Amino acid sequence: MITTDHRANLVTVAVFGEFTLPDYKEFEELVNYKVKFEGSVNLLIDLREMAGFTLDVAWEEIKFSRQHAHDFGRIAVLTEDQWMTWSAWVSQLFVDAEVLVFHDEAEARAWLEAEEEAAR
């Protein structure tokens, strides 16, 4: 299950339990809409409550990242899981965005907001 939120230049996604392909498709639709009508976006991805993900999500993430290689400014990943930290690092190979992993949500949001202010 996921929850999503968005505002002018930011899409926030939180994953609870297992991250499934229908969840990922919901995330994709939101990002596609934002990019099409607003341009580059920042992402805040909260994986602290994620129990795991299905193999089809991993494959879809690779395809999506390659299709949107230039559509993200900054990507903040909230996790305490070492595997997710490594995965975020690997994702940098497919996108031009700055990708950082955070343990603290306030720090992640501050980093994303600093980029938004610099863009103004």
Q: How many CB atoms lie within 10 A of CB 77?
A: 22
Q: What mean pLDDT comes out for the span 94-109?
A: 88
Q: Going edge to edge, which strands form the sheet with 2-7?
A: 2-7, 10-19, 41-53, 72-78, 98-102
Residue 87 is predicted with a pLDDT of 64
Per-residue pLDDT tens digits for 65-96: 888 889 999 999 998 876 665 566 556 656 78
Per-residue pLDDT tens digits for 107-119: 999 999 986 666 5
Structure tokens at 86: 């490594």
CATH of the domain at 8: 3.40.50.10600
Number of helices and strands (H, E) in the chain?
Answer: 4, 5
What's the domain range around 93? Answer: 2-119
Helix (H, G, I), strand (E, B) or coil at 49: strand
The count of structural domains within the chain is 1
Residue 58 is predicted with a pLDDT of 83
Is a pLDDT exceeding 80 seen at residue 19? yes
